[in-house]
Structure 1
Amino acid sequence: MLRSRHFRLGALAVSLFATLGAMPEAASAASKTIVFCSEGSPAGFDSAQYTTSTDFDAGAHSVYDTLVEFKRGSLDLVPGLAEKWDEAPDAKSFTFHLRRGVKFQSTAYFKPTRDFNADDVVFTFKRMIDPNEPFQKAHPVSFPYLTDLGYDKNIASVEKLDDYTVRFTLKTPDVVFVRNIAMEFASIVSAEYAAQLLKAGKPEDINQKPVGTGAFVFRDYQKDATIRYDANPTYWNKKDLHIDKLVFAITPDAAVRMQKLASGECQLTSFARPADIATARKDPKLAVLSGVGFNVAYVGYNTTHKPLDNVLVRRALDMAVDKEAIIKTVYEGAATVATNPMPPSQWSYKALKDAPYDPAKARALLKEAGFPDGFTITLWAMPVQRGYNPNARLMAQLIQSDWAKIGVKANIVSYEWAEYNKRAKTGGEHDAILYGWLGDNGDPDNWLGTTLGCDAVHGSNMAKWCNKQFDDLLAKARLVPDQKARTRLYEEAQVVFKDQVPYTPIAHANAYQPISKRVHGYLISPLGGHRFDGITLD
């Protein structure tokens, strides 16, 4: 028998999130513009092709909708383009009942002739799972998040039952499926627009000229400068649309972003440095929202590269990192030391003893591994601030110094953000790499499977680590709906992780959001990123 529901509540792994001001009751949008000082240029606007919040803010969070959504500022699931859904008891079949009367955006380059329906859902997913789908065949691209989840293999079919009903059938059960497709990679695109692009011989435009059903209509983009959007006049959820225009002012320098916020040039900014938080709190024009950090920063070891394939070497490098010094210097105390691949606020977190900071013992481990004189490796440092790492270059320099004490020379490498991700994820060019994760759906599988599973070795698994014992535990956990049973399996998986050290967890950063006091209704998301629906401006 199918279990029907209008929404499913997720486990609330994060509880403390702040709201600035009260949202006005009237839903009419005033002629006002929100300027968001973002940290970098998106690689594109087709959210299915990407995995970072820089890309999701510009695409999924502005232009698109998903079948199921996360309630703003929460890990709770709420209806999106699907009004309700049914899950078969075996967790292999999921039926979505679609919202009627939803319109795709009208732009200078596309005028829709019909409303959103099941054809759009089928197209959205078939182009990701079927290499012979005509659009994907004409414009072959990768879909890293879908692949990281193993859905390129596990989704057996996506069927249109009628114009407003779609059924997904999986090959193996997955109790996390609904929560996973609430994520940004599953943003629904227009099949009619795709057909227009295909006919015109311009399928690549889907990544540069987006069309969705979301709150904002894309207007123009100047790389490294601005992205401009207008409020969507046909948005289906008008009660959450209170602004007239949205502008991304792309500003890579964190200090300049804060200067623009203080001067009123922008009203929101991304990823403030710890030092800027105290300054913002003193500014009468600004407020600082805060919440529990649902993230982890780490240094990953490419286990396909020698000598990092040797677990003794990884343990030595792990033991040589002075995490307390990093917390003090990089985060200025606004973080806690990490020992696990997930934060303590995530259900199934297991308290594990961390390896001590012990350079002498680390050097002895290197000698045991056959490297008494050390070795040379690359250490990649991100070029941008992230919610989990405010200064990757400084962190890299501290780790470089730590490893030098045990005879390991680390050459720091960096690339532009999109190139950094491409080279690391698909190319695996790095030896050691600074990266991290902001929880995407509130489920433990998102921390363990997406960043450490075998399916993700060509994506977000930066360690390129594939461990059968670990992977089998995750596979079993996806089969059982009982949270206690799943917790036991995830706890076992964390023990395997800690023993094998595919990466060194460093910190869980506190979440802060400096914001103009003119902005009301903004919520910090436990999932990272920035959403612009539901906010208004004085």
Structure 2
Amino acid sequence: MTLKFARTRKTVVSLFAATMLSGVALTPAMAKTLVYCSEGAPEGFDAALYSANSTWDASAETIYDRLTEFESGTTKVIPGLAESWTISDDNLEYTLKLREGVKFQSTDDFTPTRDFNADDVLFTYNRQLDKNDPWNSYFPGANWEMFNAMDMPSVIKAIVKVDEKTVKFVLKQPDASLPSKLALNFGSIMSKEYADKLAAEGRREDLDRKPVGTGPFRFVDYQQDAAIRFAANADYWAGAPKIDNLIFAITTDPTTRMQKLQAGECHVAPYPAPADVAGLKANPDLTVLEQPGLNVSYLAMNTLIAPFDKLEVRRAINMAIDRKAIVGSVYQGMGQVAKSVLPPTMWGYNGKIEGYSYDPEMAKKLLDGAGVKDLKMKIWAMPVSRPYMPNARRAAELMQADLAKVGIGVEIVSYEWGEYLKKVRDEARDGAVILGGTSDNADPDNLLSYFFSCSGVGGSNNANWCYKPLDEIFQKARTSSDQSERTKLYEEAQAIISDQAPWVPIAHSTVVLPMSKKVKNYVMEPLGSHRFEQVDIED
């Protein structure tokens, strides 16, 4: 089968914002600069190395493109750098025709000599697929988390260069979700020519520090933990952005973000505290968008560490935590208690799962039956607000109080965001972590495999819980093209996860995004990203 598709601002700024603008080339009568108050600093700029949305917003959604993309505002897969693709009769070969005339960005120390071609696709994927590839371990601790969590090494047999503008993905087994997986951020296409230059000069790590892509914005510079500056890519194949400069002003505190927004220091500011939403809606200078999030927040126990390797203990902790009280206090009407690990707005959701009821007395009995007394544990609280969790510290304090009632002493710990994300992947981690996620492609496999596959242990599987019968269900679901059959398998998977209780599912949030009324054409993305290629600002 063949699939083919078509595809002078005045700013009120504070001294801080003016400082951020220094060095950006502005033509006063014409240049348009949008300031986005980002909630967290990026871990780096090679999108395949990381899994945080704050990092992807600053890399995958600005600098890079993928072979396939998600249509803005939807979960529909459309062509990206691959303008069309064909699928063999046995569903084991996907042949992709690459887009002509796509140019990589130029920077101060790199000027491309050729357009995007098949070599770039092979470089982007083989460095993740092949452990012997010289770029597989170019960055300390590189584990290609999302690529492995999606079990791509079990799916892809080889990637073949047919010619300069054609590549073929040869699969080990059918995978009906491959086109949507190619749109995930680990598939952000890198320049092989740039990588070769960096290797020759002995500075491979600049692939992550000084990024080059084909996307709508080119990287200008990064002031650590303060600001990232981008400029419009005038040669962007899909048309140059409407704004000339894009600045990410890194502002981790949600109250400060909203203050900057209302003072005119930034134009878009995500993830307000729920208590601030009513006031933001009442501000006549702001537009406040909102929609149900395809997300989940959770507390993940490390099942490799005693006593969390005991099912009774995990169930006891689920029963000891009053999730309804957490949602009421932390989300304040902007979320609902999670019964399953999938959000109810996603296909494949198992509505028959009720989850664990708040039952401290039963929790005590389960702990006694497991021979666990005077348990001490750590709960890790994120230092930043996320779309799925507005205030992890407050949630942790409520959990601490609940667990004390059943005889469990809790120490709350936290780390800087990048360090937090690094440390939670340690298989020897001491503590249960508060985290969450937003679906990247609206396919149940994305969240389920990412969080619970055996291949994700030590990476995205923050419970470090490997359950072979569950992996077999994931495998069956991936190889089926029948959505009703896949739905049944994913419903079964959710029932197993609920029964085995490696997590305490907490909530599914409503995502709120306030912005200046000067911002035009902004579209909320159901998959949680922030995109600016079509955004404009009126004078």
TM-score, length of structure 1 as denominator length: 0.93
Q: Does 1:166 align with 2:167?
A: yes
Which one is further off, 167-176 or 437-446? 167-176
3-state SS of paired residue (1:260): helix
Counterparts in 2 of 1:504 and 1:56: CA distance versus 1, 3 Å: same
Letter in 2 for 1:449: S
Contact in 1 for aligned 2:292/2:511 (Cα 8 Å) = yes
Q: CA RMSD in A?
A: 1.5
CA shift, 1:427, in A, is 4.5
Contact in 1 for aligned 2:427/2:464 (Cα 8 Å) = no
CA shift, 1:7, in A, is 8.6
Contact in 1 for aligned 2:70/2:183 (Cα 8 Å) = yes
Letter in 2 for 1:69: E
CA shift, 1:346, in A, is 0.6
Counterpart in the other structure of 2:17: none
Counterpart in the other structure of 1:224: 225
Letter in 1 for 2:425: K
For 2:415 and 2:92, locate their aligned partners in 1 and report how far apart those are by CA, in whole Å: 41
For 2:160 and 2:195, locate their aligned partners in 1 and report how far apart those are by CA, in whole Å: 19
Letter in 2 for 1:237: A
Counterparts in 2 of 1:443 and 1:137: CA distance versus 1, 3 Å: closer
Counterparts in 2 of 1:137 and 1:258: CA distance versus 1, 3 Å: closer
Contact in 2 for aligned 1:128/1:146 (Cα 8 Å) = yes
For 2:410 and 2:87, locate their aligned partners in 1 and report how far apart those are by CA, in whole Å: 50
CA shift, 1:356, in A, is 1.3
Letter in 2 for 1:218: F
Which one is further off, 324-333 or 210-219? 324-333
Deviations 1:303-354 (A, max 9, x none): 1010001011000000111111111111112101101011011111111122
Alignment of 1:410-449 (within 5 A): 410-449=410-449
Alignment of 1:100-499 (within 5 A): 100-136=100-136, 141-238=142-239, 241-351=241-351, 352-371=353-372, 373-499=373-499
Letter in 2 for 1:515: M
Letter in 2 for 1:328: G
For 2:368 and 2:429, locate their aligned partners in 1 and report how far apart those are by CA, in whole Å: 26
Q: Does 1:99 align with 2:99?
A: yes
3-state SS of paired residue (1:505): strand
Q: Which structure 1 residue ranges, 5 or more long, are not aligned?
A: 9-28
CA shift, 1:175, in A, is 1.4
Counterpart in the other structure of 2:40: 40
For 1:378 and 1:156, locate their aligned partners in 2 and report how far apart those are by CA, in whole Å: 41
For 2:424 and 2:77, locate their aligned partners in 1 and report how far apart those are by CA, in whole Å: 32
Q: Which structure 2 residue ranges, 5 or more long, are not aligned?
A: 8-28
Contact in 1 for aligned 2:104/2:191 (Cα 8 Å) = yes
Counterpart in the other structure of 2:31: 31
Counterpart in the other structure of 2:23: none
Letter in 2 for 1:184: N
CA shift, 1:137, in A, is 5.7
Counterparts in 2 of 1:455 and 1:90: CA distance versus 1, 3 Å: farther
Letter in 2 for 1:66: R
For 1:66 and 1:292, locate their aligned partners in 2 and report how far apart those are by CA, in whole Å: 26
3-state SS of paired residue (1:302): coil
3-state SS of paired residue (1:436): strand
CA shift, 1:426, in A, is 4.0
Counterpart in the other structure of 2:16: none
3-state SS of paired residue (2:280): helix
CA shift, 1:435, in A, is 0.7
3-state SS of paired residue (1:415): coil
Contact in 2 for aligned 1:6/1:85 (Cα 8 Å) = no
Letter in 2 for 1:183: L
CA shift, 1:77, in A, is 0.8
Deviations 1:422-473 (A, max 9, x none): 1111444142110111011010101211111111112111111111111111
Letter in 2 for 1:383: P
Contact in 2 for aligned 1:147/1:455 (Cα 8 Å) = yes
3-state SS of paired residue (1:157): strand
Which one is further off, 437-446 or 128-137? 128-137
CA shift, 1:133, in A, is 2.0
Contact in 1 for aligned 2:2/2:84 (Cα 8 Å) = no
Letter in 2 for 1:215: P
Contact in 1 for aligned 2:242/2:533 (Cα 8 Å) = yes
Contact in 1 for aligned 2:155/2:175 (Cα 8 Å) = no
CA shift, 1:417, in A, is 1.0
Counterparts in 2 of 1:75 and 1:30: CA distance versus 1, 3 Å: farther
For 1:138 and 1:448, locate their aligned partners in 2 and report how far apart those are by CA, in whole Å: 29
CA shift, 1:3, in A, is 4.2
3-state SS of paired residue (2:66): coil
Which one is further off, 230-239 or 476-485? 230-239
Counterparts in 2 of 1:346 and 1:365: CA distance versus 1, 3 Å: same
CA shift, 1:359, in A, is 0.5
For 1:142 and 1:238, locate their aligned partners in 2 and report how far apart those are by CA, in whole Å: 34
For 2:468 and 2:437, locate their aligned partners in 1 and report how far apart those are by CA, in whole Å: 22
For 2:458 and 2:186, locate their aligned partners in 1 and report how far apart those are by CA, in whole Å: 16
Deviations 1:370-411 (A, max 9, x none): 12x330111111111100000000000100111110001111
CA shift, 1:273, in A, is 1.1
Contact in 1 for aligned 2:34/2:246 (Cα 8 Å) = yes
Letter in 1 for 2:510: N
For 1:356 and 1:100, locate their aligned partners in 2 and report how far apart those are by CA, in whole Å: 57
For 2:304 and 2:334, locate their aligned partners in 1 and report how far apart those are by CA, in whole Å: 34
Counterparts in 2 of 1:7 and 1:414: CA distance versus 1, 3 Å: farther
Counterpart in the other structure of 1:25: none
For 2:495 and 2:131, locate their aligned partners in 1 and report how far apart those are by CA, in whole Å: 37
For 2:344 and 2:6, locate their aligned partners in 1 and report how far apart those are by CA, in whole Å: 26
For 2:287 and 2:492, locate their aligned partners in 1 and report how far apart those are by CA, in whole Å: 42
CA shift, 1:89, in A, is 3.7
Counterpart in the other structure of 1:14: none
For 1:124 and 1:195, locate their aligned partners in 2 and report how far apart those are by CA, in whole Å: 12
Contact in 1 for aligned 2:67/2:81 (Cα 8 Å) = yes
Which one is further off, 446-455 or 131-140? 131-140
3-state SS of paired residue (1:108): coil
Which one is further off, 246-255 or 153-162? 153-162
3-state SS of paired residue (1:317): helix
For 2:527 and 2:34, locate their aligned partners in 1 and report how far apart those are by CA, in whole Å: 22
Letter in 1 for 2:357: P
Deviations 1:193-220 (A, max 9, x none): 0000001010000000000000001001
Counterparts in 2 of 1:478 and 1:265: CA distance versus 1, 3 Å: same
Counterparts in 2 of 1:504 and 1:89: CA distance versus 1, 3 Å: farther
3-state SS of paired residue (2:258): helix
Contact in 1 for aligned 2:138/2:205 (Cα 8 Å) = no
Q: Percent identity?
A: 46
Alignment size in residue pairs: 515
Contact in 2 for aligned 1:81/1:99 (Cα 8 Å) = yes
CA shift, 1:529, in A, is 2.1
CA shift, 1:153, in A, is 4.0
Which one is further off, 213-222 or 347-356? 347-356
